[in-house]
């Protein structure tokens, strides 16, 4: 090797320095890439929907935890240019996809609650329309039955009374449906609990039942500043539910008890009945989902809305077999 081909110490040191420099830049680039990759993974994980990034060979390049939970859903997804909905495990998902180079990103957004609200709105509008159509003939039947009761023979009066009870049930459903579609508006006045109890007693008489039921209501009288008609509906709903629960029970008799106490901020009522237990507590306060054979699924929903409109609440407690607590702000 000639002297011209030999690397001088200076050139060797320069080459080593360049090698270290390139290695340092590579490590910085690698660290930046790792940081970027971690940032992307955190962003993807933070998103509220399921995200998959798919390679050309259909393998999963990146996914978040929601996507891992819905891996079976990925098999149902078809890559389309347009957004579309897919049903999976009793829920609904909005599917979107987009491609860039050799990667395809797919997102699945849970829209079950949104669809439920849309369906509720549609059902509410339809129910309100039907209620308006039914209200006039029901009013005529109620008026004619009252006239008929005065004219029929005594042995036929129970038949007319059964007609009146059926009309009363339909009228309750109509009122509940119209109130649900329009919303709760309260008109506060001062009245005594005894006045409200008289109205509840009257609604019990119209509701009708076949078993021996002992109704235990607060005997102490006190003043409320609230919407009397709405509170009558609230308590009548709970008492009617209690009657239905007792009617569905194997026992020949039952108890419906309303107890009362007051603290610094609320009138507090507890309602207990000896009837059958609630079948599905998760759907107890969902509109149009009734836990019993009778009813349209609006009674408890409206009762909770009435209590909340009065600054209170309705809760199902676990301290007894079945106990509701109702709070009405003072």
Residue 136 belongs to a domain with what CATH number?
A: 1.10.287
Q: What is the pLDDT of residue 281?
A: 66
Q: What is the pLDDT of residue 40?
A: 65
CATH number of the domain where residue 13 is located? 3.30.450
Rounded distance between C-alpha atoms, residue 202 and residue 205, angstroms:
5
Do 131 and 93 fall into the same domain? no
Do 56 and 142 fall into the same domain? no
Rounded distance between C-alpha atoms, residue 284 and residue 293, angstroms:
14
Do 128 and 35 fall into the same domain? no
Q: What is the pLDDT of residue 69?
A: 85
φ, ψ dihedrals at 262, nearest 5°: -135, 140
**Residue ranges in the chain modelled with pLDDT below 50:** none
Considering the entire predicted model, what is its pTM? 0.56
Residue where one domain finishes, among candidates 48, 78, 111: 111
Q: What is the pLDDT of residue 147?
A: 85
Reference 299, options 130, 174, 203; nearest CA is 174
Q: What is the pLDDT of residue 127?
A: 67
Q: How many CB atoms lie within 10 A of CB 221?
A: 10
- Widest CA span in the chain: 138
Is residue 4 included in any domain, yes or no?
Answer: no
Residue where one domain finishes, among candidates 111, 134, 159: 111
Strands (E), 136-286: 189-192, 212-216, 223-226, 253-262, 266-273
Is residue 51 included in any domain, yes or no?
Answer: yes
Residue where one domain finishes, among candidates 149, 183, 217: 183
Do 99 and 204 fall into the same domain? no
Is residue 54 included in any domain, yes or no?
Answer: yes
Q: State which residues form the domain around 307.
A: 188-330
Is residue 2 included in any domain, yes or no?
Answer: no
Q: What is the pLDDT of residue 46?
A: 72
Q: Tell me: the pLDDT tens digits for 208-262?
A: 778 888 998 988 888 889 888 888 888 888 888 888 888 888 888 888 888 898 8
Number of DSSP helices (H) and strands (E) in the chain, helices first: 8, 12
Is residue 1 included in any domain, yes or no?
Answer: no
Strands (E), 50-123: 50-54, 60-63, 84-88, 91-100, 103-110
**Residue 60, both tokens:** 């999963």
Do 320 and 200 fall into the same domain? yes
φ, ψ dihedrals at 96, nearest 5°: -130, 145
Do 202 and 307 fall into the same domain? yes
What's the helix, strand, coil split of the chain in %, to 5?
Answer: 50, 25, 25
Q: Tell me: the pLDDT tens digits for 36-47?
A: 666 766 766 777
Do 193 and 318 fall into the same domain? yes
């Amino acid at each position: 090797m000639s002297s011209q081909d030999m690397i001088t110490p200076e050139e060797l040191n320069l080459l080593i320095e360049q090698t270290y420099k390139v290695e340092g830049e590579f490590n910085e680039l690698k660290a930046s890439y790792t940081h970027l990759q971690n940032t992307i993974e955190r962003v993807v994980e933070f998103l509220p929907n399921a995200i998959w990034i798919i390679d050309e060979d259909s393998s999963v390049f990146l996914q978040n935890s929601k996507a891992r939970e819905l891996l079976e859903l990925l098999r149902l997804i078809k890559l389309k240019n347009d957004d579309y909905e897919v049903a999976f495990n009793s829920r609904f998902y909005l599917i979107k996809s987009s491609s860039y180079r050799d990667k395809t990103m797919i997102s699945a957004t849970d829209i079950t609650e949104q669809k439920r609200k849309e369906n509720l709105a549609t059902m509410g509008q339809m129910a309100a329309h039907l209620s308006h159509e039914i209200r006039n003939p029901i009013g005529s039947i109620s008026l004619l039955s009252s006239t008929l009761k005065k004219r029929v023979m005594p042995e036929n009066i129970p038949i007319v009374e059964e007609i009146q009870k059926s009309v009363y049930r339909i009228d309750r459903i109509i009122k509940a449906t119209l109130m649900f579609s329009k919303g709760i508006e309260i008109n506060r006045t001062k009245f005594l609990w005894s006045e409200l109890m008289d109205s509840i007693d009257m609604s019990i008489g119209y509701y009708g039942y076949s078993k021996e039921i002992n109704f235990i209501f607060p005997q102490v009288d006190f003043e409320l500043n609230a919407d009397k008609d709405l509170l009558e509906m609230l308590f009548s709903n709970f008492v009617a539910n209690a009657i239905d629960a007792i009617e569905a029970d194997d026992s020949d008799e039952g108890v419906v008890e309303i107890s009362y106490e007051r603290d610094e901020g609320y009138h507090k009522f507890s309602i207990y009945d000896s009837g059958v237990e609630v079948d599905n507590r998760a759907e107890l306060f969902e509109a149009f989902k009734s836990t019993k054979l009778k009813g349209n699924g609006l009674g408890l929903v409206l009762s909770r809305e009435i209590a909340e409109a009065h600054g209170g609440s309705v809760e199902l407690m676990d301290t007894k077999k079945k106990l509701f607590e109702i709070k009405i702000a003072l």
